[in-house]
Amino acid sequence: MSEELRKTPLHALHVELGAKMVPFAGYAMPVQYPMGVMGEHNHTRTQAGLFDVSHMGQVILRGPDAALALERLVPVDLAGLAEGRQRYAMFTNDKGGILDDLMVANRGDHLFLVVNAACKAADIAHLRAGLPELEVTELTDRALLALQGPGAEAALEALVPGVAAMRFMDVATHDWQGHALWISRSGYTGEDGYEISLPDAQAERFARALLDQPGVAPIGLGARDSLRLEAGLCLYGHDIDAKTSPVMAGLAWAIQKARRTGGARAGGFPGAELILQELAEGPFATRVGLRPEGRAPMREGTVLWDAPVGGRNLGGVTSGGFGPSLGAPIAMGYVPTTSAEPGTRLWGELRGKRLPVTVCDLPFRPSTYKR
Domains of the chain, each with CATH number or no CATH: 6-54+141-230 (3.30.1360.120), 284-371 (2.40.30.110)
Question: What is each CA distance from 165 to 169, 176, 185, 221, 371, in whole angstroms?
Answer: 12, 17, 10, 29, 11
Which of 222, 234, 270 lies closest to 36, judged by CA?
222
- The pLDDT assigned to 242 comes to 98
Give the whole-angstrom CA distance, residue 137 versus residue 212: 34
In this prediction the pTM is: 0.97
CB-based contact 274:245 (threshold 8 Å)? yes
Give the whole-angstrom CA distance, residue 53 versus residue 115: 11
pLDDT along the chain (371 residues), means of 10: 82 98 97 98 98 98 97 98 98 98 98 97 98 98 98 98 98 98 98 98 98 98 98 98 98 98 98 98 98 95 97 97 97 98 98 96 96 90
- Give the relative orientation of helices 200-211 and 152-159 as an angle to the nearest 10 degrees: 120
**137 has which bridge partners?**
60
Amino acid at 296: A
Give the whole-angstrom CA distance, residue 72 versus residue 196: 28
- Sheet containing 135-139: which strands, arranged edge to edge? 86-92, 98-106, 111-115, 57-62, 135-139
- The pLDDT assigned to 87 comes to 98
CB-based contact 334:234 (threshold 8 Å)? no
- The pLDDT assigned to 47 comes to 98
Q: What is the DSSP string of 99-110?
A: EEEEEEEE-SSS
- The pLDDT assigned to 1 comes to 31
Q: How many C-beta atoms surround the C-beta of residue 344 within 10 A?
A: 17
